[in-house]
Structure 1
């Protein structure tokens, strides 16, 4: 395992790189770099935490406009089940997860996490998932050539502090004996094995994308204060589904949700070096956004929404006939009663030493993601890909579907807990 060169990186970028490397050595380097950081401890009563694993919004900080701000560091740990899911093993998993909740405050200053399960995990059981859960096998959408996540579970760790996500991951797998000063008495070794080649990492934060300009595929023209590689703010409150909307509201998995993760590469050099700022605005939002200068350099003129009016969404076909449509206006056509269907919690990545995005969305049923994805593709608009929003610049190469159960069923649930 080779650690990044500290002398060549800013502190912030060095910590991001250590998360990407992972492992005990990276954790040691990260801890040494972050000795001054005090991480708030968790609760003595983990059962007092929300029943929804995905109930993050109340624990997230907010930007100056009131939008939730995602945690800065993310790790997606792919897991393969190494033990039969007996009641004893389930108790061990729950004890290990509660150790995290005792060690770290449920916040971005501490640790937020979810544990979700693939269709392949549930296939080992004789019973079937209830009709209230829509969890199909992942498939290619709109002609994509994809690989699919077919391991058993996915652990999403997120924090503003790099050492927290590394320490939590290593502590869960027997490589670190304390979590924020709390002794680890139960871990996941022997229950799950990490699928290292499917481990994914990433980051969100103003200025972080621009710090990767030395990486191949990341041009110098990425705005200095952009929080995402494509150059604009994202996650506006009025453009996100609420946690209530993405929550399963019936059956034994009530208060759970479904999660979709797509990993994609981004063609940033073409996006920034061959397109003007006005054209990037038009392709990201809508031509009207560019004409009326609604966005600003990185989206600072927008507050809690993408400023897409009903009229602008309905004008998508007219804009297509004029030659260009925006990604946001296309996707907005899938809204129901004016409300978005997806709650996005995606983040930038440089996994594989190239710029990309791990697109993570929550929805009550996977079919909602499929409908939004097909609408966003805009095949009905008859445009070449380079004029069709951002479709000509993003290239998904892996996707997976997961059931994120309620907290009380997160430890190796059977398909029909009732």
Structure 2
């Protein structure tokens, strides 16, 4: 692998002056949370060894002997996640995204599919499904399916990625596949990654039957974290003011929680209903740089609440801390925020991010997407890996159009970015679209696996 294929974290200096491998190896004065995050960001066998050396093997149950008892949907995570006091699902704290390119010429063979499936089944046998074990998905891009003469069925809406606003110019991810690894335990995502890449022969006492090293080459590696205290532990990066303003109760860099249960689509809603990929979904991935100097240094708390939620939330002082007091809903419909977005933009000069996004709904008022995103310090800058699941990529485009709020900017005092939600604080660097097949077709699928 040449240096252009390695992540920014992997190219850090070996001496570990700012949290590189040497610092992880000896602890470097890092807290337990800081150490775990740093190990995931660096990756590789040395980081895994250091993580296990400091924290020991986590007490993680193995997976079931009978893998047919697992859900047919790859994206069926919710029933295996912890919940908070309000019934919101609690996201796994540590993440790795592996973007992969198929090594072979032409189309994959049945033997290669069997090898890939054995590799994925090894992960499922090694770790119980859940945030206290391992959750993962495997997706494939439009570019992957273009190697076949046959097209994807009409039941699958998988578009090539593109810029979705006049003010963005992202690089487009056309890698063949993406693997998303998630766990509350840093050592679990590291070990699972190493096993897939052919660097571990045993996981959690379970033999690894196969790996992906002969099938794929790694094109990119992205890492991150989500959860109370993790952003505060990692704010000494570009994009965060020197005052280090992120509070200890914030699960994300912008200081507020997301993923309220009533503001997320159900897993049923995002599932493809018909055709050979019924039981699957689509996966959108955006790499976003955060620029939060003004957010924290110039905007007041009231302004941040207005821009993240809705002006009503600021005027009525509805949000305490990171917003846990809101319960299982961001209180958009309850406060009439989506219906009054244009009026607020015109009369108050600000419209909220959640307020705009809530305008993209089914006829019954249900959201169109599930968010499974997380923060990152890849490249030593504050970032967000925005991961969303939706039945069709068109559902993501519709939601993004609502979030852009260009209609509001044209007819109000709100500029295209300024005071238009949180657009001015985010820069989309990369975007990719992928199909997440059902588990039975997750291993190098053809466009019509039934044939």
| TM-score normalized with structure 2 length | 0.91
- Counterpart residue number, 1:225: 249
Q: Distance in 1 between matches of 2:206 and 2:111?
A: 23
Work out whether residues 347 and 359 of structure 1, in 8 Å CA contact, stay in contact via their aligned partners in 2: yes
Q: SS in structure 1 opposite 2:52?
A: helix
Q: Distance in 2 between matches of 1:55 and 1:19?
A: 24
Aligned counterpart for 1:357 among listed residues 384, 397, 400: 384
Q: CA deviation at 1:36?
A: 5.2
Q: CA deviation at 1:300?
A: 2.2
Q: SS in structure 1 opposite 2:418?
A: helix
Q: CA deviation at 1:215?
A: 2.4
Q: SS in structure 1 opposite 2:325?
A: coil
Q: CA deviation at 1:193?
A: 1.2
- Counterpart residue number, 1:216: 238
- Counterpart residue number, 2:427: 395
Q: SS in structure 2 opposite 1:113?
A: strand
Aligned counterpart for 1:59 among listed residues 62, 80, 89: 80
Q: SS in structure 1 opposite 2:160?
A: coil
Q: SS in structure 2 opposite 1:62?
A: coil
1:170 aligns with 2:191: no
Which range is displaced more, 8-17 or 283-292?
A: 8-17
Q: SS in structure 2 opposite 1:154?
A: strand
Work out whether residues 4 and 17 of structure 1, in 8 Å CA contact, stay in contact via their aligned partners in 2: no
Which range is displaced more, 3-12 or 60-69?
A: 3-12
Which range is displaced more, 168-177 or 70-79?
A: 168-177
1:23 aligns with 2:44: yes
Aligned counterpart for 1:37 among listed residues 58, 65, 88: 58
Q: CA deviation at 1:359?
A: 0.4
Structure 1 segment 256-275 matched on structure 2, within 5 A: 256-275=280-299
Structure 1 segment 304-319 matched on structure 2, within 5 A: 304-309=328-333, 311-319=336-344
1:74 aligns with 2:95: yes
Aligned counterpart for 1:150 among listed residues 166, 174, 187: 174
Q: SS in structure 2 opposite 1:315?
A: helix
1:324 aligns with 2:355: no
Q: Distance in 2 between matches of 1:376 and 1:122?
A: 30
Pair 1:53–1:190, CA change in 2 (3 A): same
Structure 1 segment 147-296 matched on structure 2, within 5 A: 147-195=171-219, 198-219=220-241, 220-296=244-320
Aligned counterpart for 2:164 among listed residues 119, 122, 141: 141
Q: CA RMSD in A?
A: 1.1
| TM-score normalized with structure 1 length | 0.98
Aligned counterpart for 1:94 among listed residues 114, 117, 121: 117
- Counterpart residue number, 1:49: 70
Q: CA deviation at 1:53?
A: 0.2
Which range is displaced more, 277-286 or 142-151?
A: 142-151
1:182-226 Cα shifts (integer Å, max 9, x gaps): 12231112111111xx21111011011111232233232111210
Q: Distance in 2 between matches of 1:66 and 1:381?
A: 33
Q: Distance in 1 between matches of 2:382 and 2:223?
A: 12
Work out whether residues 245 and 364 of structure 1, in 8 Å CA contact, stay in contact via their aligned partners in 2: yes
What number of residue pairs does the alignment pair up?
416
1:205-253 Cα shifts (integer Å, max 9, x gaps): 1011111232233232111210000000110000000000000001110
- Counterpart residue number, 1:9: 30
Work out whether residues 331 and 373 of structure 1, in 8 Å CA contact, stay in contact via their aligned partners in 2: yes
Q: Distance in 1 between matches of 2:44 and 2:235?
A: 25
Q: CA deviation at 1:52?
A: 0.2
Pair 1:363–1:17, CA change in 2 (3 A): same
1:306-326 Cα shifts (integer Å, max 9, x gaps): 001262211000000020000
Q: Distance in 2 between matches of 1:223 and 1:99?
A: 39
Q: SS in structure 1 opposite 2:285?
A: strand
Q: CA deviation at 1:25?
A: 1.0
| Stretches (4+) displaced over 4 A | none
- Counterpart residue number, 1:412: 444
Aligned counterpart for 1:369 among listed residues 388, 396, 399: 396
Which range is displaced more, 308-317 or 10-19?
A: 308-317
Work out whether residues 249 and 321 of structure 2, in 8 Å CA contact, stay in contact via their aligned partners in 1: no
